[in-house]
Each structure stands twice: as C-alpha cells, then as structure tokens.
A and B are shown apart, each in its own frame.
Chain A
Amino acid sequence: MTHPATRRHSSVSDEESGGGVRPFWSGTITFGLVSVPVNLYPATRTNRAPLRMIGPEGEPLSRRYYSEKTGKDVEADDMIRGYEIDKDKFVTITDEELERLAPEKTRDINLTLFVKEETIPAVYFERGYFLSPAGNSEKAYKLLAEAMKERGDVGIATFVMRGKEYPVAIFSDHGILRAETMRFPDEIRSAKQVGLPETPKTNAATVRKFETLIKKKAKRTFTPEKDQETAQLLKLVKKKETKTSNVVQIKESDKSEGKVVDLMEVLKRTLAGKSK
C-alpha cells in the first residue's frame, strides 16, 4: 500500500526529541517459543544526488499539496486516503483501519520455516534491511544468528511493514540478522504469462560453445560497481561551482531543518546498543 505523502522509504529520519533514530519498523522475531524483539533499519540507500527545485530568485522551493477543486493548499493533517472504486468515487480508509486489518500472525516475524540459503531464486528478493536487538534481547538475537549460521539456513515468514505485507527471509550475516523482503509469487510473472516461446530442444554444440565462452570469462567474485552517473554529475557541479553566477546562496534562516542522517552511523550506533 502506498504511504501518506509525509513518509518516505529508504530514508532514516532523525527523531525530534534528539539522540536516537527512529527504526523503520519495530517488532518481534519468533522461532518456536523464543521471541527476539528487534528494530529494523534499511540496508540500502539511494545514492542519486538529490537535485532541488530552485525558483526564479534562486530560492529553494517547497512542494505543497493543493485541492484540485478549490485550488487552495491542503495541510497534511487534513489529507485522507481514498481507494478509487469508480471514476472519481472513493472509499476512504484510515491509518488505524489499515493497522487493524493486518492479520495477527503478520504483526511479528514468525519464523515457522527454515530453508537452505541457496534455494531461494533471486527474482524474489526486493530490498535488504538490518535488524538490531531491542529491549535486552541480545542473547536471544545472537542465539538465532548462531544457530542459522551453523545450519546454513535462512528463516522464512510473512509480515506487514508500513501498510504492506511481504514474505521475508532472515539471513545470518557476519553475526548480524539481515532481513530481505521478497515478492509474493503472484507478483512474479511466469514465462508463459509473458508469452515467451516453449523451451525447445537445444543444439548440444551451441550449448558447448557458450559454456566455453562462460569458462573463458569466469571470475570467482562479484565486485559491486561504483555509481558512474552520480560521479559524472558531481564532477560537473564542481566545474560549475568555480563561476559565481552559477551559485546561489540562501539566507541562514531559510536553511532546511531536516538533517540528513548517515545510514552507516545509525546502524553502527544501534548495533552497539547505544540508541535506546
């Protein structure tokens, strides 16, 4: 389900009261009768250099919502969520209703199945998160991480996070529990649905030709690529910065309050047990 406009994925926001950083989701992992309270933080971030919209006087602009009918701005508190059942006809639904509609068993990550790590096809994986122990659960947390590591297993469950249900796989990764949200099978098309031709009998010589090619270019490890596009953009920014007519400076008082929090710092702090 889409979130209200005020929430953004992949961003970690600074808590207003200062100090701690709000987790993306908080809940409990259970296996058998053991429960492990955890906090969940994103393990991925967007790297794309954010571009701001600038007005004619060089001032950064704000995005506002306005009513299509009256043309007036609408405040966040006055906005409601609606599902369009007919053209321009909506059924409204509240946050509370959405929360209450989540099936009981999906409010926690209830690991009722463990599978071997390599048996999940890559098409299922959607996004990664790290889990940190919450509420004195360090021992139970480590117990699960250690047991899964020694068995070479990942735990499977479904759970609801921010208004959407996901199948989830819990990995033991360097002593840390990592959650990978997955897609439901009905969200992945079959080759038949796509309209691909039936697999024919292949020519053995052609297969061998490709196998030789694969072996020739075989490598043991995968090295993640650096983001070239962002690097290019930053290079251009640096070049333009030298000319003052390309630069605008806003007044001290207009600076945006939203402090950008470094995801890495958040994760380090929370795993060290320093952000409770």
Chain B
Amino acid sequence: MAARAIWKGDLKMGTAKVSVKLYSAIEDKTVRFHILDSGRKRVKQHMVEPESGEDVPDTEIRKGYEIEPGRFVILEESDLESLKPKASRDIEISSFVPIDAIEQQFYERPYYLGPDGDANNYFALAEALANQEREGIAHWTMRNKTYTGALGAQDGYLILSTLRNAEEVVSAAQLPKPAGTAPSKKEVELAKHLVSMLEGEFNPAEYKNEYRERVMDFIAKKAKGHAPRLSAVKTKRQTTSLDSALAKSIESLKKGKRAA
C-alpha cells in the first residue's frame, strides 16, 4: 500500500522550482512495551507538586526556563507562540556540497521526496545530483519547526535527510587522542593485513534484526503459557597477547579461505 504524503513543498534553487511531496523513508519496527503497575494495568503520567504529591491540572501549569539553579523565567503561551517560525512551503537550496562532505553523525531522519505534479524536473534534478555526486543543503520550515537538511539522490529518487545542528554534534577533531602506548609498526602491518582479509561489500540485506524476532517469539510463547527457559549471560576475556592474537587470526582466516 502506498504511503501518504506528510507534507508538500517547493524545492527552490535560484530561479528553478520543483514541487514535491514528502514521505517518511523510515518504518519504525521497534517493539513497544507499555509500563504497567503490579496489577498489570496501564500507568499514566501526571504532574504533581513534589512536596505534597498533589496533582496539578494542565490548565494551571506554566512553562519556565531555568536561568540558574532554582531560578526560572516564566514563558507564557503567547511568548511561545511568538517564537514559532513563519510558515512557508519553500525548501531553499543554498549550496551543493560533495557527497562525502557531511559527516555521518549529522544525518538524522531521511524522507523520500516524490514529484507533485510535473515529474520531469523532479527526475532530471535527481539525475543531475547523482551525476555531479553532490548533495544540496536545504532549509525549510515544517510544522512549526525549522530544519536544515541534505538533498541527495538514491536510485533515481530524491531523498531529503534532516541534519543535526552544530551544537548537537561533538566532532572527533575537538577531542584529545586516547592516552596509552602506541602499537609498533609491525603490529600495525599485521592488523592492516587482518583487516584487508575481512574486506567486502556493504550488503544491507544480510542484516536481520534477530533480537526483535527472538523477543516477539518469546512473547508469543509466553502468551500461550509456556515461556522457554533462558540461560544466563556469560562474559569472556582475552587471554593471549596482542601479537599472537593477530598472527593466529590471520592464520585461521587463511585456512578458512583455502577450505572454502
């Protein structure tokens, strides 16, 4: 079944305009649990006065920003309303960067864009992005929130991923290098050899969420009244030295290859 568009907008770059519909590219498969009380009834949340434990109804709750410990500036509804960004249908593309210019840490949530009306420009833009190996840097406002995003092409379609902002990401360049002894040249050579023997293609289809299946299977069995016994988790430790671990790994991989 086709998905429903969650938003409509216009990609704008210079004088060009491409009308698009936005669809979530993600399907959340997380197993959701409810929080229950000891009588297996659902629990709900409410706000209480911390001292008396008394319930405070929503109509009496205001919002405050803690400027220093214990000191709050009250923000009224009208204040929060005044902070809402101006609504717009424009997705402004300000620049185009090489596809490897944005670090993985910034990518937050991908959306498919689909053509809204004329599809020629949509598919031509996707092809142009793929040919140029670039992503567009996008800015837009959707549902009272402003976003920065990356406009990329994948298999001929446009994908718009929201990006985290500067304050949200810690970059490795800002951090000190780990302390401790450095490995020797010989060890690095061995490790490189080992890594190269394990090189292959990224094939996402190989990855199945086995844990999710196990949990769902366990729940199904428990629902029928016969939950299987689960064995305890064991921990293991490395015993051999780094050098011999590297040498043994390479040896066993070579044997594995010959046998295959």
Contact A122 B107 (CB under 8 A): yes
Contact B25 A165 (CB under 8 A): no
A8 at the interface (CB under 8 A from B): no
Complex-state Cα separation, A259 to B175, whole angstroms: 23
Contact B177 A194 (CB under 8 A): no
Q: Can you report 17 A-B residue pairs in the complex whose CB atoms are below 8 A from each other?
A: A1-B215, A51-B75, A58-B74, A60-B64, A83-B31, A102-B233, A111-B198, A123-B161, A142-B181, A153-B195, A191-B157, A196-B23, A203-B124, A214-B132, A248-B64, A255-B70, A267-B175
A31-47 interface code vs B (CB 8 A; 1 in, 0 out) = 11111000000011111
B27 CB contact (under 8 Å) in A65, A155, A186, A237:
A186
A225 → chain B closest CB, angstroms = 5
Contact B73 A78 (CB under 8 A): no
B169 CB contact (under 8 Å) in A43, A112, A183:
A43
Q: Which 7 A-B pairs have the closest CB atoms?
A: A138-B180, A195-B2, A32-B249, A210-B128, A128-B105, A100-B230, A165-B211
Contact B47 A115 (CB under 8 A): no
Complex-state Cα separation, A91 to B176, whole angstroms: 47
Interface residues of A in 216-230 (CB under 8 A from B): 216-222, 224-230
Task: Find chain B residues with CB under 8 A from A73 CB.
Answer: 48, 53
Complex-state Cα separation, A222 to B35, whole angstroms: 42
A210 CB contact (under 8 Å) in B16, B56, B62, B167:
B16
B20 → chain A closest CB, angstroms = 11
**CB contact under 8 A between A229 and B169, given known A54-B64, A79-B36, A273-B178:** no
A169 → chain B closest CB, angstroms = 8
Contact B172 A194 (CB under 8 A): no
A166-185 interface code vs B (CB 8 A; 1 in, 0 out) = 01010101111010100111
A232 at the interface (CB under 8 A from B): yes
Complex-state Cα separation, A213 to B26, whole angstroms: 30
Contact B30 A141 (CB under 8 A): no
B134 → chain A closest CB, angstroms = 6
Contact B128 A207 (CB under 8 A): yes
A168 → chain B closest CB, angstroms = 10
Complex-state Cα separation, A35 to B235, whole angstroms: 13
A179 → chain B closest CB, angstroms = 10
B43 at the interface (CB under 8 A from A): yes
A241 → chain B closest CB, angstroms = 5
Interface residues of B in 204-260 (CB under 8 A from A): 204-205, 207-212, 214-215, 218-219, 222-223, 230-233, 238, 240, 242, 245-246, 248-250, 252-253
Contact B101 A220 (CB under 8 A): yes
Task: Find chain A residues with CB under 8 A from B182 CB.
Answer: 139, 142
Contact B44 A68 (CB under 8 A): yes
B91 → chain A closest CB, angstroms = 14
Contact B120 A202 (CB under 8 A): yes
B176 CB contact (under 8 Å) in A49, A156, A271:
A271
Task: Find chain A residues with CB under 8 A from B47 CB.
Answer: 53, 55, 61-64
A162 → chain B closest CB, angstroms = 12
Task: Find chain A residues with CB under 8 A from B119 CB.
Answer: 197, 200
Contact B83 A232 (CB under 8 A): yes
Complex-state Cα separation, A251 to B51, whole angstroms: 12
B190 → chain A closest CB, angstroms = 9
A17 → chain B closest CB, angstroms = 22
Contact A221 B230 (CB under 8 A): no
Most B CB atoms within 10 A — which of A63, A101, A153, A167? A101
Task: Find chain B residues with CB under 8 A from A225 CB.
Answer: 148, 163, 165-166
Task: Find chain A residues with CB under 8 A from B61 CB.
Answer: 53-55, 61
B40 at the interface (CB under 8 A from A): yes
